[in-house]
Amino acid sequence: MAIRDRLSGNEAVAVAMRQINPDVVAAFPITPSTEVPQYFSAFVANGKVDTEFVPVESEHSAMSACIGAEAAGARTMTATSANGLALMWEMLYIAASSRLPIVLAAVNRALSGPININNDHSDTMGARDSGWIQLYGETNQEAYDNMLMAVRIAEHPDVMLPVMNCFDGFITSHAVENIELLEDDAVKAFVGDYKPEHCLMDQDCPIAVGPLDTVAHYFEHKRQQAEAMKNAKKIILEVSAEFEKLTGRKYGLFEEYKMEDAEIAMVVINSTAGTAKFVIDGLRDKGVKAGLVKIRVFRPFPVDELVAALSKVKAIAVMDKADSFNAAGGPLFTDITSALYGRADGIKVVNYIYGLGGRDVKTDDLAFVFDELQEIAKTGKVKSVYNYLGVRE
């Protein structure tokens, strides 16, 4: 039976970690992810888990400790945000290239500078090509559920890649919502035991982790990483289907909201989807055929599935809560347009950079975007492809 509770996103993720009972958690505090290891350390102190909790002197050290623990055969987790993720940068690539299934709760926060502790997606978007699988969640429930599924996805023998469970700082991490938790025994049965095929502690099969890789082998190892990321898409769907049987909660690579007959659509990530759904409901009442695609899996990027979902609309607004500073569009926009190119040509696609540094995104802002989409769908003309929403010009 489900356990009904009221938890913040951070506490929900910490509860998921308690239920999983990882072997090692190494972490360093940074707002707004601090509560995740803080709550979890209380579980350690109270004897509710068997985890070895490693307090370290920096986020670089945290990921280094996670790499060492996971390489030794221990199921390992951590949490961070923004500048903390940036300080891990070197080690993110080493974790992924070493095929270590670490799970990281990435609580999205604006990446300095200037210093800003509020929400946008510049931190994890900057790490999008580090080789980590990236899952994004709109609500506390999704943050909790994704944490449970991340373990199964990461540790699957056809994947063996680290996973970021990304959710919005303060908006999701600190806001309290109703949530349904699984019972502890159900979680333990779902995630199972971690039994890596190879690890440093296996005396019968000695291995090296992170050695010098010369020109004779480096390219092939990168190709193997790429294949693992391709494999991840199938495994994510399989794990999500199993999770649905357990909980009744359905997850895919993305969520489609009122897309069956949509003529205009918005593509968005994380908590802004809730605001967009409210706006779409109002537009539908007025006869406007508006829809939403909410990205759940950003890496691997679900190209074929997104093309199928978006191919029948006339105009699309891709919403980026991070800027690429490339004078061409945000990271989600460039991936969406790349996916559509040659597969669904003729659709008008525009980009809006929004919400940087925690700037409020109101229903009026999103209604304005849909108004622009209606005009584009009607006339076929795009005034500006690359736009900023809610900024004082």
100 & 184 share domain = yes
In this prediction, residue 45 carries a pLDDT of 97
Burial-class residue 214 by CB neighbours within 10 Å (0-12, 13-18, 19+). Answer: exposed
The domain containing residue 87 runs over which residues?
Answer: 3-247
Of the residues 213, 247, 281, which one is the last residue of a structural domain? 247
181 & 327 share domain = no
In this prediction, residue 344 carries a pLDDT of 94
Query: Torsion angle, CA of 181/185/189/194, rounded to 10 degrees?
Result: 100
DSSP reduced 3-state for 379: helix
182 & 237 share domain = yes
Q: What is the pTM of this model?
A: 0.97
Residue 291 bridge partners (DSSP): 265
pLDDT digits (tens, 9 = 90+) for 250-299: 999 999 999 999 999 999 999 999 999 999 999 999 999 999 999 999 99
Q: What CATH number is attached to the domain comprising 350? A: 3.40.50.920
In this prediction, residue 102 carries a pLDDT of 98
314 & 262 share domain = yes
137 & 258 share domain = no
* Tokens describing residue 59: 């986020």
pLDDT digits (tens, 9 = 90+) for 39-68: 999 999 999 999 999 999 999 999 999 999
DSSP reduced 3-state for 12: helix
Reduced to 3 DSSP states, what percent helix, strand and coil does the chain have, rounded to the nearest 5?
Answer: 40, 20, 40
> CA 268: distance to chain centroid?
12
Is the pLDDT at 393 greater than 90? The verdict is: no
pLDDT digits (tens, 9 = 90+) for 151-181: 999 999 999 999 999 999 999 999 999 999 9
Q: Which of 340, 157, 282 is nearest to 232 (CA)?
A: 157
Beta strands in 188-332 (DSSP E): 254-257, 264-269, 290-295, 297-299, 315-320
Is the pLDDT at 1 greater than 80? The verdict is: no
Cα separation values, 8 from 25, 36, 143, 179, Å: 20, 10, 10, 9
pLDDT digits (tens, 9 = 90+) for 192-247: 999 999 999 999 999 999 889 999 999 999 999 999 999 999 999 999 999 999 99
Q: What CATH number is attached to the domain comprising 230? A: 3.40.50.970
Whether residue 206 is preceded by a cis peptide bond, meaning omega within 30 degrees of 0, is: no
In this prediction, residue 377 carries a pLDDT of 98
What lies within 8 Å, CB to CB, of 168 at 6+ separation is 9, 107, 108, 119, 270, 271
pLDDT digits (tens, 9 = 90+) for 73-126: 999 999 999 999 999 999 999 999 999 999 999 999 999 999 999 999 999 999
Domains: count for the chain: 2
Of the residues 219, 247, 275, which one is the last residue of a structural domain? 247
Let me know: does 124 contact 96? Beta carbons within 8 Å.
no
148 & 218 share domain = yes
314 & 362 share domain = yes
186 & 142 share domain = yes
275 & 352 share domain = yes
DSSP string, 271-297: THHHHHHHHHHHHHHTT--EEEEEESE
261 & 211 share domain = no
Of the residues 227, 247, 267, which one is the last residue of a structural domain? 247
CA dist 29 and 236 (Å) reads 29
60 & 202 share domain = yes
308 & 230 share domain = no
